[in-house]
Amino acid sequence: MAENAQPTIAEQAQDVASKLATSVADTLNFGEKAPKEDVDRSGLPILYIDEKAGSDETGSGAELSPFSTPLKAYQSIKPTIENDSNPTQNVILMIRKSDSVERNEWIELSTSGKKKLVKNISGWRKSQAKLLAEGEKLQKDKLEKDEKERKRREEAKNIILVDDESKESKKTKIYAVPELVGSRVRIQGWVHRFRPQKTNYFLVVRDGTAMLQCILTGDCIKTLDALDLTTESTVELVGTIEKVKQGQTAPGGVELLVDYWKILGKAPGGSDAFEGRLQQDTDASIRADLRHLELRGETATSVMRVRALLLRAFRDAFHKRRITEVTPPCMVQTSVEGGSTLFEFDYYGAPAYLTQSSQLYLETVLPSLGDVYCIQESFRAEKSLTRRHLSEYTHLEAELVFIKFKDLLDHLEDMICDVVEILLNDPVSSEIIKTLNPDFQPPSRPFMRMDYRDAITYLNENGITKEDGSEHVVGDDIAEAAERKMTDQINRPIMLIHFPKLLKAFYMQPLESAPDFTESVDVLLPNVGEVVGGSMRITDYDTLMAAYKREGIPSDPYYWFTDQRKYGTTEHGGYGLGVERFLAWLLNRWTVRECSLYPRWMGRATP
Ligand code: 4AD
């Protein structure tokens, strides 16, 4: 140690420890040397030790709550180092005689006990000194690191990148940059990934249209912003677009060599960093709470992108067929699919519901607009938590006029195949389908058409039972699990037709040849089950009135629907397709919840 220099804490501690070691060596002989205890000890505190039944964790040293070791008793008086060689000068340590639990006999710590205690104190002080030294080293390292960081930031402050306005740059979205090789461009986006290296920083930036690899070098990695950069920060970058070198890959095959950049909005690092909030093993309910962050991930983004392209493909396919889009109301005062799944609310003092289906409204505009469709939210107060049920889902419904049941089935098959083809021909959706569902095969035509009664036979012949283990009989509602088993076994789209009247909604047209069954169809797809439900509608006024009666539905609130049968009735039919279920099939998602922007299910309406 230099003269005048203050000893460090560790050095002081080491010194104390070595002095203590010497004094312990002396004291260990105090059998001969120790002074006779002729001082008055009557006022000293007494601590009790029971080596068998006491506790160093919970004991207090009182007779009824003894410690288990003399060392702990000694430590409890918070002794100074000077006391260590004669530990009982300020305290009386009483030990329970080992055979006296019942008799409660205590004796003062013996001379040999004291020797042992002094030895233990020495060990304790040494480990304390070691801990102190380690703490001091940590503190020193931290100070050095902080100082280095402070200097780095000080130097970084002086490095200012200049946004040279005289140099031309084209503001662009990332999707367009592959066409701009050699140009100087300006982009804005979020830092998706970030890999700092000694001489280069590699950023992957996304702007919602695509991703771009950006390379920062030289002064660009020495600024304060470079030191502060975190993933999910928003940034503006200016530089030249270049093709990636041979043998290397980057999104779009190009990269941006940055000459100017800055942070626009800094995302937090440390314990609040984006990466830490959502991980592979994050609990499902936390994931659901953090859906707004999950949506920034690659899989969720891909699903939402295909969702948008899917809706566009359906609109194109409808447009091609001259089917007109309409936008029916969400707030209604009539049910379509039965009362048990209605969400009811107070509408200016009268009961109203969130719509279950826009079908009845679509039917009313057939006479004015001809074939129509809508893409509208439907609501079902489902009391189950299956992987294919939502409380709110996007319902794509169409209604076609002057058709027979076979026309409806052909149209459905046509639409599904057309839309899949559009998506497979689109470079963005086909790439995502390939990534998320590499085994996807477009459905082959014609779809299998299976009568409900044949399905019952199929289930029984293939050992697919009801939930209670019994065989299915005609009239049974085929449960979700059985339906899925059958669909997965057959492993191709099935049009399940002619359901019993009593299982289906009031508006379905009865089969002429078997009036207890209906001209109805469910389209079942592998991995999901029912994706479409449709039917021909009752055209005859009296038959409809009888159907209301059979189902116990008061006809008055439906006057506007009934009127369609009064003023020029026609054969017509339609269907509803669950967009999230269709997507789950197309992209091989485990649950429809992944296919909705902000899914709602029983008990969940957040965020
Ligand atoms: O079979 P559903 O109940 O039929 C109707 O609502 C008819 N009125 C439609 C019509 O003919 N215009 O529902 C149609 C489809 C189902 O096949 C399913 O794909 C989807 O809507 N669906 C649900 N999707 C997610 N969560 C739910 N709770 C769903 N309920 C129905």
For every residue of 100-130, DSSP letters joined together read: -TTTT-EEEPPHHHHHHHHHHHHHHHHHHHH
CB 44 within 8 A of CB 26: no
- 8 pLDDT more than 90: no
User: Model confidence at 33, in pLDDT bands (50, 70, 90)?
Assistant: very low
Rounded to an integer, what distance in angstroms lies between the CA atom of residue 338 and that of residue 521? 18
Structure tokens at 367: 């006479």
Q: d(Cα 517, Cα 511) in Å, to the nearest integer?
A: 6
Mean per-residue pLDDT, 18-43: 49
Span 219-239, mean pLDDT?
96
Instruction: Identify the helix (H) or strand (E) that includes residue 141.
Output: helix 111-157
Q: Is the CB of 533 under 6 A from ligand 1?
A: yes
Q: Which of 354, 361, 395 should be mutated for ligand 1, with most atoms under 8 A from CB?
A: 395
Mean pLDDT of the chain: 92
586: which residues sit within 8 A by CB, 6+ positions away?
306, 310, 420, 423, 433, 437, 440
Backbone angles phi, psi at 347, to 5 degrees: -115, 95
- Which among 316, 311, 356 has a CA at the least distance from the CA of 332? 356
C-alpha of residue 392 to centroid of ligand 1, in Å: 11
Question: Tokens at residue 261, please?
Answer: 């950049």
Mutation test residue for ligand 1: of 337, 416, 483, 494, the one with most atoms within 8 Å of CB = 337
> What is the percentage of the chain residues whose pLDDT exceeds 90?
83
pLDDT attached to residue 338: 86
pLDDT of 103 reads 63
Say how far residue 15 (Cα) sits from the centre of its chain.
56
What's the whole-number mean pLDDT along residues 507-525? 97
Residue 574 Cβ contacting ligand 1 at under 6 Å: yes
Mean pLDDT, residues 178-202 taken together: 95
Instruction: Tell me the CA–centroid distance for residue 564 and ligand 1, in Å.
Output: 23
Closest Cα partner for 523 from 450, 420, 474? 450
> 336 CB under 6 A from ligand 1?
yes
* Rounded Cα gap, residues 587 and 429, in angstroms: 10
pLDDT for 38 beyond 90: no
Instruction: Say which residue the tokens 């994050």 belong to.
Output: 282
- Ligand 1 probe mutation, 326, 343, 357, most atoms within 8 A of CB: 357
Q: What is the pLDDT of residue 76?
A: 93
CA angle 542, 547, 550 (to 5 degrees): 125
Q: How confident is the model at residue 3 (pLDDT cuts 50, 70, 90)?
A: very low
Sign of CA dihedral 492, 497, 500, 502: positive
374 pLDDT higher than 90: yes
Closest ligand 1 atom, CA of 535? 11
Average of per-residue pLDDT across 233-238: 98
How far is 327 from 308, CA to CA, in rounded Å? 18
Statement: residue 510 has pLDDT above 60: yes
* Residue 246 binned pLDDT confidence (cut-offs 50, 70, 90): confident
- Is the previous residue joined to 79 through a cis bond, with omega within 30 degrees of 0? no
- Taking each helix axis as running N to C, give the angle between helix 452-461 and helix 480-490, from 0 to 180 degrees, rounded to the nearest 10: 80
What b/e sequence results for 543-567 when a residue is b if at least 16 CB atoms lie within 10 Å of its CB, and e otherwise? ebeebbeeeebeeeebeebeebbee
In 3D space, the residue among 415, 471, 478 whose CA is nearest the CA of residue 443 turns out to be: 415
How far, in Å, are 24, 301, 364, 531 from residue 17 at the CA level? 10, 63, 95, 78
pLDDT at 28: 41
